[in-house]
A and B are shown apart, each in its own frame.
Chain A
Amino acid sequence: MTPYPPLKLHVPEPPARPGQETDFSYLRIASAGTVRQPPIDSRPTQTTDIADAMVRVLDDEGRAVGSWDPHAAPELLRTGLIAMLKTRVFDARMLTAQRQKKISFYMQSLGEEAIGIGQAMALAPDDMCFPTYRQQGILIARGYPLVDMMCQLFSNDHDPVLGRQMPVMYTSKRHGFYSIAGNLGNQYIQAVGWAMASAIKGDTRIASAWIGDGSTAEPDFHNALTFAAVYRAPVILNIVNNQWAISSFQGIAGGEVATFAARGLGNGIVALRADGNDFLAVLSVSRWAAERAHRGFGPTLIEWITYRAGAHSTADDPSKYRPANDWARFPLGDPVSRLQKHLIRIGAWSDEEHTRAQKQVEEEVIAAQKTAESYGTLLSGHVHNASTMFDDVYKEMPAHLKRQREQLGA
């Protein structure tokens, strides 16, 4: 007889399901300003505490406190706020357009806007971002034309990627925005390769890699960490922990007993955990990581804590798998209103200016939508000619594709 009880498989469960209330204490939120800023040349073992804590700058009253205060110029913060507002309005209108069947599919970044935009503002414009499908804010912060974004979404004959990709899979080398693959995690190791290339060439540009909590389980993530550490690649390794993959909680990705930031430490990478809904923290931690990359100290892994306020995409209904009031109760709040509150507090913004800015971005997005829709939508069928599907498979079209293009007769 064995002295042991029967074994039991542990399957992590979220703190609450629909109809219940989430206990967010699992986030272990630190008070703003309490986490130290380590020296720029820190070794991974010297950031162990920060990988398990949470860097926060904005307190509940909207004050910037502690050593991570970026002391950013109010003008920069206003620009960031407006970019967040614009992204949010853009998302809302495109979500509606999807419901009107003008777009086949959409993914909004509601609640997570500070992360992409804050980091974009900490980087040089030609640093290369390798985003996921929830960093449209980077494109907006970098001034990519809204009309071009919408034409991609509408899959019309002005779509820069010629109707080849599902909506949201943007690309713009000119704006330092790597082509989104859609199969999760792929871009993470590619970002490290790009950063290695920059170092091989003696360039000064750095890379910014993006992944969600769920996809950190993919081998690409682990390959990226290994290569980034081994070659001391000038790359920022961002993990956006928005608590949910589609219907699976971050615990299923391995976040139940260790932070995602802790993955960095084991790989020999300096790692931090930070409040992703705190624009000042995003700006400050991103600047710190960029500085480390530029100074030859290599990669920095940052876990951003946020909450995916909307559905994963237009193809799922979150009320089926999580409490409906989660975001309203999320203790890190809304990144837009937190930055707004701070700017008002320091006298760099007012409710009137906010209302005016909101109206302005709405007008801008509506005008862009009008132009984009004038080129057609998926509904109107003004898509690129089918014969273009044979282009760009190879640089020069081989004979077999020419034959197939003829057979298609388009």
Chain B
Amino acid sequence: MGTMTMVQAIRSALDIMLGRDDDVVVFGEDVGYFGGVFRCTDGLQAKYGTSRVFDSPIAEGGIVGAAIGMGAYGLRPVAEIQFADYMYPGYDQIVSGAARLRYRSAGDFTAPITIRMPCGGGIYGGQTHSQSPEALFTHVCGLRTVMPSNPHDAKGLLIASIECDDPVIFLEPKRIYNGPFDGHHERPVVPWTGHPLAEVSEDHYTVPLESAAVRRPGSAVTVLAYGTMVWVSEAAAREAGVDAEIIDLRSLWPLDLETIVASVKKTGRCVIVHEATRSSGFGAELAALVQEHCFFHLEAPIERVTGWDTPYPHAQEWAYFPGPDRVGKALRRATEV
């Protein structure tokens, strides 16, 4: 057991699966010799050879389409889309191909593929390197959408995703690759070193899909968050002095509804936090589920703290990013009603 960053944990998961299963292949733009722009595949081509880990042309539709064909053959490809913002040319292949192959062929063909993509903001990436398109995947039946918030989960969820026989969209919040960023961009960067969730086993283990984690038990309000927003919410609760119960969804869809419902029934209040734009965002689905299942336990309106309904701006990043101040205000509003 040692400390790993999220990048190292992801690399460890890929390393383990490449080693254990000859059917696992890893490919995408710059992932081969160079090891990926975020270094998640560093050293893997040297270890497993060019037919297992290789570069792809800059064609996301080609990357996803080829992965589906490999999956139909019987491989378990792990494809990297360099930034989630570049996913759109591959979206048709994800929606019309990967997500429905099992269904439309009644199980004759399947696409057990994992599509990794760095997402989210906080790196001055502007509109083309900051997006959080999770709702475009959670809306598609047949897909699993996963987003880890820490190195331990990143490794366990990625192994579970690769071993899963369904197509999995694996979203990696790039701002927390190297540390648990809490939204205080003005403060020094905090690395993963020493963080309990950065203690990652070198061995094979899984974090089950469809299972949420309670990051911080509390009684005043339930916070539903995932990815970077887990750490922002934790800072917000601490700074606002609100005894929030913070649930890290981990698997966005299909999701662990039981953990959510149990918590909201206990606290009677709910704040949903995500970086993505607000309208028709995944928070809308979460709010609907909470009111369907917990209506008579609710003591305050459900709050959503999200990115604004604008493209992700560059110079105005911190006005856009839903940081601890905005989350803290929502926590207070939800608990003061």
Instruction: Determine the chain A residues whose CB is within 8 A of the CB of B59 once the complex forms.
Output: 219, 222-223, 226-227
Query: Which of B57, B104, B166 has the most chain A CB atoms closer than 10 A to its own CB?
Result: B104
Taking a contact as CB atoms closer than 8 A, the residue among B61, B104, B144, B254 that contacts A219 in the complex is B61
Q: Is B65 an interface residue, CB under 8 A from the partner? A: yes
Complex CA distance for A159 and B287, rounded to whole angstroms = 40
- Whether the pair A392, B70 counts as a contact (CB closer than 8 A) is no
Instruction: Determine the chain A residues whose CB is within 8 A of the CB of B110 once the complex forms.
Output: 395
Of A89-97, A177-185, A242-250, A349-357, the one contacting chain B is A177-185
Query: Which of A183, A196, A395 has the most chain B CB atoms closer than 10 A to its own CB?
Result: A196
Taking a contact as CB atoms closer than 8 A, the residue among A178, A186, A196 that contacts B70 in the complex is A196
Q: 23 A–B contact pairs at CB < 8 A?
A: A128-B73, A161-B105, A169-B104, A171-B108, A171-B109, A179-B101, A179-B104, A179-B108, A186-B65, A189-B62, A190-B65, A190-B66, A190-B68, A190-B72, A193-B68, A193-B69, A200-B70, A201-B75, A220-B65, A223-B61, A392-B106, A395-B165, A398-B210
Given contacts A223-B66, A394-B142, 18 further A-B contacts (CB under 8 A): A161-B108, A162-B106, A171-B109, A178-B109, A186-B65, A189-B61, A190-B97, A192-B69, A196-B66, A200-B51, A219-B89, A220-B93, A226-B62, A227-B62, A227-B65, A227-B66, A395-B164, A400-B257
Tell me whether chain A's interface is mostly helix, strand or loop, or mixed.
helix
Query: Which of A219, A394, A399 has the most chain B CB atoms closer than 10 A to its own CB?
Result: A394
* A392-B72 in contact given A186-B96, A227-B57, A227-B62 (Cβ < 8 Å): no
| Chain B 79-117 interface mask (CB, 8 Å, partner A; 1/0) | 000000000010011001100111111111110000000
Please tell me the size bucket of the interface on B. 35 or more
Complex CA distance for A178 and B97, rounded to whole angstroms = 12
Complex CA distance for A399 and B65, rounded to whole angstroms = 29
- Whether the pair B52, A200 counts as a contact (CB closer than 8 A) is yes
Listed in ascending order, the chain A residues whose CB lies under 8 Å from chain B are 128, 130, 160-162, 164-165, 169, 171-173, 178-179, 181, 183, 186, 188-201, 207, 219-220, 222-224, 226-227, 230, 392-395, 398-400
- Whether the pair A223, B65 counts as a contact (CB closer than 8 A) is yes
Complex CA distance for A223 and B73, rounded to whole angstroms = 19
How near does chain A come to B212, taking the closest CB pair, in angstroms? 13
* A197-B70 in contact given A392-B103, A398-B210 (Cβ < 8 Å): yes
Instruction: Determine the chain A residues whose CB is within 8 A of the CB of B70 once the complex forms.
Output: 193-194, 196-197, 200
Instruction: Determine the chain B residues whose CB is within 8 A of the CB of A193 once the complex forms.
Output: 65-73, 77
- Whether the pair B104, A394 counts as a contact (CB closer than 8 A) is no
How near does chain B come to A233, taking the closest CB pair, in angstroms? 9
How near does chain A come to B103, taking the closest CB pair, in angstroms? 5
Taking a contact as CB atoms closer than 8 A, the residue among B74, B92, B107 that contacts A197 in the complex is B74
Instruction: Determine the chain B residues whose CB is within 8 A of the CB of A169 once the complex forms.
Output: 104
Complex CA distance for A395 and B144, rounded to whole angstroms = 11
Complex CA distance for A173 and B101, rounded to whole angstroms = 12
Instruction: Determine the chain A residues whose CB is within 8 A of the CB of B71 once the complex forms.
Output: 193
* A196-B69 in contact given A181-B96, A186-B97 (Cβ < 8 Å): yes
* A200 nearest CB neighbor, chain B only: B51
Q: How many A-B residue pairs have CB under 8 A?
A: 144
- Whether the pair A171, B106 counts as a contact (CB closer than 8 A) is yes
- Whether the pair B66, A186 counts as a contact (CB closer than 8 A) is no
Taking a contact as CB atoms closer than 8 A, the residue among A162, A173, A224, A392 that contacts B62 in the complex is A224
Q: Is B141 an interface residue, CB under 8 A from the partner? A: yes
Complex CA distance for A200 and B69, rounded to whole angstroms = 12
- Whether the pair B142, A393 counts as a contact (CB closer than 8 A) is yes
Instruction: Determine the chain B residues whose CB is within 8 A of the CB of A160 once the complex forms.
Output: 106, 108
- Whether the pair A173, B65 counts as a contact (CB closer than 8 A) is no
Listed in ascending order, the chain B residues whose CB lies under 8 Å from chain A are 25, 51-52, 56-57, 59, 61-62, 65-75, 77, 89, 92-93, 96-97, 100-110, 141-142, 144, 164-166, 210, 254, 257
- Whether the pair B103, A173 counts as a contact (CB closer than 8 A) is no
* B97 nearest CB neighbor, chain A only: A186
Instruction: Determine the chain A residues whose CB is within 8 A of the CB of B144 once the complex forms.
Output: 394
Instruction: Determine the chain A residues whose CB is within 8 A of the CB of B89 once the complex forms.
Output: 219
- Whether the pair A197, B61 counts as a contact (CB closer than 8 A) is no
- Whether the pair A173, B210 counts as a contact (CB closer than 8 A) is no
Complex CA distance for A373 and B101, rounded to whole angstroms = 27
- Whether the pair A394, B254 counts as a contact (CB closer than 8 A) is yes
Instruction: Determine the chain B residues whose CB is within 8 A of the CB of A400 once the complex forms.
Output: 254, 257
Instruction: Determine the chain B residues whose CB is within 8 A of the CB of A398 once the complex forms.
Output: 210, 254
Instruction: Determine the chain A residues whose CB is within 8 A of the CB of B142 once the complex forms.
Output: 393-394
- Whether the pair B62, A223 counts as a contact (CB closer than 8 A) is yes
* A164-B106 in contact given A189-B93, A227-B57, A230-B57 (Cβ < 8 Å): yes
Complex CA distance for A392 and B165, rounded to whole angstroms = 11
How near does chain A come to B77, taking the closest CB pair, in angstroms? 8
How near does chain A come to B233, taking the closest CB pair, in angstroms? 25
- Whether the pair A392, B107 counts as a contact (CB closer than 8 A) is yes
- Whether the pair A197, B97 counts as a contact (CB closer than 8 A) is no
Complex CA distance for A223 and B65, rounded to whole angstroms = 8
- Whether the pair B102, A194 counts as a contact (CB closer than 8 A) is no
* A164-B62 in contact given A171-B109, A173-B109, A200-B51 (Cβ < 8 Å): no
Complex CA distance for A188 and B100, rounded to whole angstroms = 16
- Whether the pair B92, A183 counts as a contact (CB closer than 8 A) is yes
* A398 nearest CB neighbor, chain B only: B254
Instruction: Determine the chain B residues whose CB is within 8 A of the CB of A200 once the complex forms.
Output: 25, 51-52, 70, 75
- Whether the pair A164, B166 counts as a contact (CB closer than 8 A) is no
How near does chain B come to A128, taking the closest CB pair, in angstroms? 8
Complex CA distance for A181 and B94, rounded to whole angstroms = 13
Complex CA distance for A398 and B210, rounded to whole angstroms = 9
Instruction: Determine the chain B residues whose CB is within 8 A of the CB of A394 once the complex forms.
Output: 102, 142, 144, 166, 254
